[in-house]
Structure 1
Amino acid sequence: MSTQSSDVVLPASLLDTDLYKFTMQQAVLHHFPGVEGTYRFTHRDKDVFFTRECFERFERSASQFGKLQLKPEEREWLSKACPYLTPKYLDYLSSYRFKPEQLRLRFEPIPEDADKDARREPSTRGHIKIDAVGPWQETILWEVPLMACLSEIYFTTVDKDWSYDGQEEQAYEKAKTLLEAGCTFSEFGTRRRRSYHTQDLIMKAILRAQSDVPNAPGKVAGTSNMHFAMKYNVVPVGTIAHEWFMGVGALKGYEHANGMALKLWEEVYPNVLQIALTDTFSTEAFYKDFLADPHYARQWTGLRQDSGDPFVFAPRAKEIYQQLGVDHTSKTIIFSDALNVEKALRLKKQCDEIGFRCAFGIGTSLSNDFSRVSTGGKEKSRALNMVIKLSSVDGKPTVKISDDITKGVDGWQNTGDPTTVRLVKGIFGIPITDKDEVIH
């Protein structure tokens, strides 16, 4: 993050976000221009609190996002690095400005600190509520830089029990291990990075590791962060996020939402960015549409695993491809859910045995893997466990039903309106549980 003062934290650039925000923005402009889209923030760990000081600093920072704009040299780089972004879209992006008035920011003190908050004490503990409301094509860009901003402010305002000591060396060793084991991986850490400086250190470290072991069987495929892709001359990587499937389901109907989402995406990107995310309404629901139209299994280059047991994913995907008569050894699986080095090495071994190509998108394990200084490094410094999800389009609630059946104690395998979750579960034959009553 670039800081205009010690108080305000802003992205380094309009490009300081992930590629899929731009590719999805272009797809939204193509298929759903003008449709209203609302995003909502959730912090999953209820035992972690923000402070009023943190919130007010975040509020001041968010109010300055409108200063960001695409620079001519950035547009020129985009046109070359991402030829699938059309000149018409790049014209739109050049004129794009964040509109802070689209944000609804609230601080809710915990009951124990209500008296302190009445006195507006900076140390008041509480929870932060964020909604972004406006045209989907505009609000879609808030998610990633807003979370990166909040994380950096939290770790310089509330939790300061950490340091940068050893971070670059730690990332270097992780990258070297992955490269020597034959893993292809990308840096996916923008949303929950500890700071801009951390992500910058990480990029330097993993690229240095690749340079130091030039004959290693693995490779650094790139980064999801467009600013760092440009800065370090590496490939920007990424395709689709859950919000695309969520929005299409709400707007076009859920019964064949996965197939429709792939169809509409392919109309915008007929020969590129064709890695299908499977778990928006559960992976088995995705496979129903996948099996119904073999075109997508043949045409699309692979699948992305982002929730559930990753070691179940490849064997099941092989079964699906075999049912369709498609050679699974020509396909790639991208793993991107809570990865660390050890898990990536095990998944690589499994995919090698099964015959899949595989690659890894590694986020928090690179960009927010810190220890507490006060414990001499013996205790981890927890990253913020947060998301910003699409909550409605055109006034219709959106939902996500992941493959994690025990992701937290409050039904976090589901996101969205409880009534709509139960409706969608009924459509796909997914058991309804008591946890479906407590969805946020």
Structure 2
Amino acid sequence: MSSKPAAAPAYKPITRANVSNTPQWQRLSPEQREAIEVVSAVLPFRTNNYVMQELIDWDRVPDDPIFRLNFAHRELLEPRHFARVAELLHRQAPRAERDAVLSEIRRQLNPHPGGQLTHNVPQIDGRKLPGLQHKYRETVLVFPSPGQTCHAYCTFCFRWAQFVGEDEYKFATREAADLVAYLKRHPEVTDVLITGGDPMVMKTKVLARYLEPLLDDPELDHVRHIRIGTKSLSYWPYRYLDGPDADAALRLFERVVESGKHLALMAHYNHPVELSTEPAQRALARVRSTGAVVRVQSPIMRHINDSSQAWAELWRASVRHGAIPYYMFVARDTGAQRYFEVPLVEAWRIFRDAYSQVSGLARTVRGPVMSSFPGKVLVNGVTRIGGRDLFALQLLQGRDPEWVGRPFFAERDDEATWLTDLVPASGVHFFFEQEPVASERRSA
């Protein structure tokens, strides 16, 4: 374990309630302030003092990518929704009226894509297990209740519905007992992914309650890999740098590794600037010193990282600091996807161009990938067959393991941004469908 740096600053959350008290607020135009106030009434908004002071270039606002990543802006909502919410706030509508309108708008934003609440919830003896998801044979996801927030919220977040205060959208578990019981009945599960929100917002002793039961039980020997999905390395690297709980977290990581389990932090870095600061680099080094592996993933998003240069820089920086490039995702079909979406053809070209700029050490990355209802769909590229331009696709993961790795084709569509926009190259269904392609949105 490497030596600790100097004392870290205290974490200070910046939210809708106090953002107007920050000095940076004065640098924003009246239109930008209104956008933050209106949009953050619908979608969650939280940033912090590190992001504000170290990552955002305020001379580039509103076009700075980290500002776009953290701060609400008008285009995140449809014009009719923005106007409706602005009118409610302007006339100080009664809370009941306001909440009803906000809830209706949120319902139109596909709050839980990919069948998260309808198809992925496991059961024991007919009892649903809240806070667990089991979509792919090998992997179970765990949503600890204390980890259902983040050090800062991304404007593109596909789990935004967890953070808006509406119980109908939340899924979380308060203990590990259901997880352990379920895993003992499912020896096919090799991977447990602790996710959120962000599990690393929890105190280490709370995180340990979810991890330690997995380590020494011989009935759980089939669980070989433990993953933690987190953006803390980017948004609050001091989580690993200062104070008793930082050291405790690293000792917990060491304990997982010493138990013989593989520990991977699935780190969300959306732009190379997030890896450019000294605290971020130190935090990554300290985590790696425990024996944990860090894998880097992000969606490709308009206005934030839709250039091959940004991706090549991110992958090179990842390798330089000992992390493994893992996934380029496609922005999911929820929330403000309309603002961030990049056509699949363009995403593939950006991926290919960035991929060609890096050495083999960074070519562990895969993309662009859609985490869709049937599974993780990789866009391999565009090809010409029989005089027709087609998308070449395959499933990297599937609800049915028999689907994995099987190539399939769709008509090229330069406007398509998601699987449900695509038309099968032959027939009316893709091989994994029992209904037309539009069934995904209906069932999810």
TM-score between both structures, scaled by the size of structure 1: 0.37
| Greater relative contact order (Cα < 8 A, sep 6+) | 1
TM-score between both structures, scaled by the size of structure 2: 0.37
- Compare the two structures and name the one with the higher helix fraction: 1
